[in-house]
Amino acid sequence: MFPPKLKVVTGMARFLTKRILNMIPLLFIVTLLSFGIMQLAPGGPEQVILSAEADAMSDPAQMERLREKWGLNDPIPVQYFRWVGNMLQGDFGRSYYYRLPVKEVLGAALPNTIQLNFFSLLLIYSISIPLGVISAVRQYSKTDMIVTATAFAGQAAPSFWVGTLLIWGVAMKSNGLIPTNGIATPGVNFETYGWLSVLADRAKHMLLPLTVIVFGGLTSLTRYMRSSMLEVLREDYVRTARAKGLAEKVVIYKHALRNALLPILAVSGGLLSSLVGGSVIIENVFSWPGIGRVAWQAVNNRDYNVSMAVMLLGAVLTMIGYLLVDIAYVWVDPRIKYD
Amino acid sequence: MAAPHLNVEAEEQLQGLAREESQFRQFARRFARNKLAVAGLIVLLLLYVVAILAPVIASEPLDARVNLAERFQPPGTPGHPLGTDNLGRDLLSRMIWGSRISLSVGFVAMGVAVLLGTLVGSIAGYFGGSWIDIILMRIAEAIDVIPVFFLLVTVVAVLRPSVFNIMVVIGITSWPGLAYIVRGQFLSLRQRDFTEASRAMGATDARLIFRHILPNAVAPIIVSATLRIGWAILSEAGLSFLGLGAPPPAVSWGQILSVSRSFLKQAPWLMFWPGLAIFITVLAFNFVGDGIRDALDPKLKR
């Protein structure tokens, strides 16, 4: 009993180590990319860093002191390695706009983005999987047509347009019942209002952004689920199951669904990445204080340290997403080997 | 009959031509059977005619004078079928001018992406498993792993937004997907007999890649490119919406939408029409893309 189990565990451990080791060169290229992009700025990043210190620009002596202070006189490779070295020690530099360490700026924003996208993913999966199954089982029926049409619409409709439409058509006509921006009503806290109203308040704020994200994110997953289910339904083992006289429900939900879910896993990593990227727009439409909004503000205020860190953070989040998908894959499908 | 040998050769050539002809016809026939795809194609043709004829059709020039007396006229006002904007300019004219950026960005960005993706994908796939392949794919993955909008806003902002920069940057950030597809095709095609045969006959690597293998990988490239045009249009609109679009007097649908946010109460039509235009255009491209995919190779269905 014991040895085979141990073998599985060490196999998984080896797979994980290998996967994580593979991430290192990738991360290295990502740091090169984000650092390189900043060097593309006309006049280099220093122009921006210096102009953030308002009055420094007019005084050459003070400018020189700042250049020295921020290490801008060093050769670019030196600056790069110092940046990477500092990051390895957990120091992401200072935000020139917020006048705070970058880590604090991102640390405050990240949970908000994760909160929004966690519920989005939950909803997207719990809606798109049944929708895709129904659509496939009743191929070419009215339900299938409606589902497919909605999927096409969700793919083509710009998220900021859907968001603005909702703000105009729903929130602005709800007499303040549905908020259009922010994550919570200021002042609503556990002590004075109790957890129920805090929860309700939070949910109210999430309503519109969630709707937009889910509408946009549903589409690809539903279409994948539908085509994957259609494929599986044509397989021999499904026919066998039917021939055995099993109930249609059992055939679909016990035999077919399980296998049809595999390709869905494969596209989940990409879904996560597009949700994180899409947060730049969604968080902007609804003034959601997450990393998408921070990314946009950083770009607008030429807050380069934040921009670089945000790109890196996005990449790390995506890589974690892919890793989780891989683990799930190995776990679900015994045909896939660890290496 | 006098020179049977010659005849056979000529006939073979003719047959080859006929086969090519019928292959295209087959494609056209399959495509024509897909009603949504045909409808999409018609819509797109109409939109492009409008964009090209903008100077003739639009009632106001691109740099129309600000006319505050006529601001926020609702749709249906005589002379302003879609109403006017916050500066009293005719919305329909603005949208006609705006169609030019929105409709060209898809093609240019896709052109850049196809060029880069095909180049990188073919080289990586041809030398599959070697260090060139590993390095190229790692770079592709690194770009892919940064959430695309983070990359887009940053690069566009750093380079300063302009029509040219936006198109190129959208292309540069979206080639990895294409490179994977092309690489996959190459990995399987380079094992085939015809490749081996040409290599044995002394063809160079470049010749093998571009003359022998690449033509066989065209179908999936076309399909994936068409389906991504919609994405490029959405990206441009998103950038413009975030205030990172081409600066005035250039106008795009996303930019009109962006401005409309401040006037949601007075003038909701400013937000409605450009959004609808983007929606319809992207929808049409997706329908056409799906149609091409199904018509090129019914087996290619996802």
Query: Which chain A residues touch B241 with a CB distance below 8 Å?
Result: 158, 160, 281
Q: What value of ipTM does the predicted structure carry?
A: 0.84
Query: Which chain B residues touch A322 with a CB distance below 8 Å?
Result: 145
For residues A198 and A111, the answer to whether their CB atoms sit within 8 Å is: no
What pLDDT, on a 0 to 100 scale, did the predictor assign at position B44?
92
What pLDDT, on a 0 to 100 scale, did the predictor assign at position A255?
79
* Helices A257-285, B218-241: crossing angle, 10 deg rounding: 30
What pLDDT, on a 0 to 100 scale, did the predictor assign at position B117?
92
CB contact under 8 A, B154 and A307: yes
CB contact under 8 A, A280 and B260: no
Query: Which chain A residues touch B272 with a CB distance below 8 Å?
Result: 165
| Cα gap A166→A258, rounded to integer Å | 36
B134 is a domain residue:
yes
CB contact under 8 A, B148 and A274: yes
Q: Is A185 on the interface with B (CB under 8 A)?
A: no
For residues A230 and A136, the answer to whether their CB atoms sit within 8 Å is: yes
| Cα gap A251→A133, rounded to integer Å | 12
On the question of pLDDT at A45 being above 70, the answer is no
B159 is a domain residue:
yes
Tell me how close the Cα of A297 comes to any Cα of chain B, in angstroms: 10
What pLDDT, on a 0 to 100 scale, did the predictor assign at position B199?
80
Distance of CA A256 to the CA centre of its chain: 29
Burial of residue A305, with CB atoms counted within 10 A of its CB: 0-12 exposed, 13-18 middle, 19 or more buried:
buried
Total domains, chain B: 1
Sign of CA dihedral B49, B50, B55, B56: positive
| Cα gap A21→A172, rounded to integer Å | 51
Range of the domain at B37: 33-59+91-300
What's the CATH number where B285 sits?
A: 1.10.3720.10
CB contact under 8 A, B150 and A295: yes
What pLDDT, on a 0 to 100 scale, did the predictor assign at position B302?
39
On the question of pLDDT at A56 being above 60, the answer is no
Interface of A with B in 58-117 (CB under 8 A): none
Query: Which chain B residues touch A223 with a CB distance below 8 Å?
Result: 302
For residues B196 and B254, the answer to whether their CB atoms sit within 8 Å is: no
Which of left, alpha, beta for A175 (phi over 0: left; psi -120 to 50: alpha)?
Answer: left
Q: Is B257 on the interface with A (CB under 8 A)?
A: yes
Beta-bridge mates of residue A101: A94
Averaged pLDDT, A87-91: 85
B64 is a domain residue:
no
Which of A161, A277, A317 lies at the smallest CB-CB distance from B275?
Answer: A161
Strands (E), chain A: 94-95, 100-101
- Tell me which of A330 and A314 has the higher pLDDT: A314
Closest by CA position to A162, among listed B253, B257, B153, B94: B257
What pLDDT, on a 0 to 100 scale, did the predictor assign at position B226?
82
B28 is a domain residue:
no
* Per-position pLDDT tens, chain B of length 302: 444 454 555 665 556 555 556 777 888 888 888 888 899 999 999 999 998 888 887 777 777 677 777 777 777 777 777 777 777 777 788 888 888 888 888 889 999 999 999 999 989 988 888 899 999 998 998 888 888 888 888 888 888 888 888 889 999 888 998 898 889 888 888 878 887 888 888 888 888 888 878 887 788 888 888 878 988 999 999 999 998 888 877 888 988 888 888 887 877 888 888 999 999 999 999 899 888 888 876 554 43
Burial of residue B193, with CB atoms counted within 10 A of its CB: 0-12 exposed, 13-18 middle, 19 or more buried:
exposed
B72 is a domain residue:
no
On the question of pLDDT at A180 being above 90, the answer is no
| Cα gap B289→B177, rounded to integer Å | 16
B76 is a domain residue:
no
Closest by CA position to A334, among listed A280, A269, A258: A258
Take residue A22 and report the two structure tokens written for it. Answer: 């593979």
Q: Is B158 on the interface with A (CB under 8 A)?
A: yes
Q: pLDDT band at A2, cuts 50/70/90? A: very low
| Cα gap A257→A250, rounded to integer Å | 10
Q: Is B263 on the interface with A (CB under 8 A)?
A: no
Q: Is B19 on the interface with A (CB under 8 A)?
A: no
Strands (E), B12-159: none
Averaged pLDDT, A62-80: 76
Distance of CA B207 to the CA centre of its chain: 28
C-alpha dihedral, A174 to A176 to A182 to A187, nearest 10°: -150
| Cα gap B190→B185, rounded to integer Å | 9
B15 is a domain residue:
no
B5 is a domain residue:
no
What pLDDT, on a 0 to 100 scale, did the predictor assign at position A337?
56
pLDDT digits (tens, 9 = 90+) for A216-263: 888 888 888 888 888 888 888 888 888 888 888 888 887 788 888 887
Q: Is B135 on the interface with A (CB under 8 A)?
A: no
What pLDDT, on a 0 to 100 scale, did the predictor assign at position B42?
94
CB contact under 8 A, A299 and B154: yes
Q: Which of A16-20, A173-177, B164-168, B276-280 comes out lowest in average pLDDT?
A: A173-177
Closest by CA position to A310, among listed B217, B246, B55, B154: B154
User: Please, what is the average pLDDT of chain A?
Assistant: 81
pLDDT digits (tens, 9 = 90+) for A109-156: 999 999 898 999 999 999 989 898 888 888 888 888 888 888 888 888
On the question of pLDDT at A52 being above 60, the answer is no
Q: How many residues does chain A have?
A: 339
Amino acid type, B214: L
Tell me how close the Cα of B148 comes to any Cα of chain A, in angstroms: 6
What pLDDT, on a 0 to 100 scale, did the predictor assign at position B282?
92
Cis preceding linkage at B249, omega within 30: yes
CB contact under 8 A, B154 and A153: no
| Cα gap A288→A202, rounded to integer Å | 12
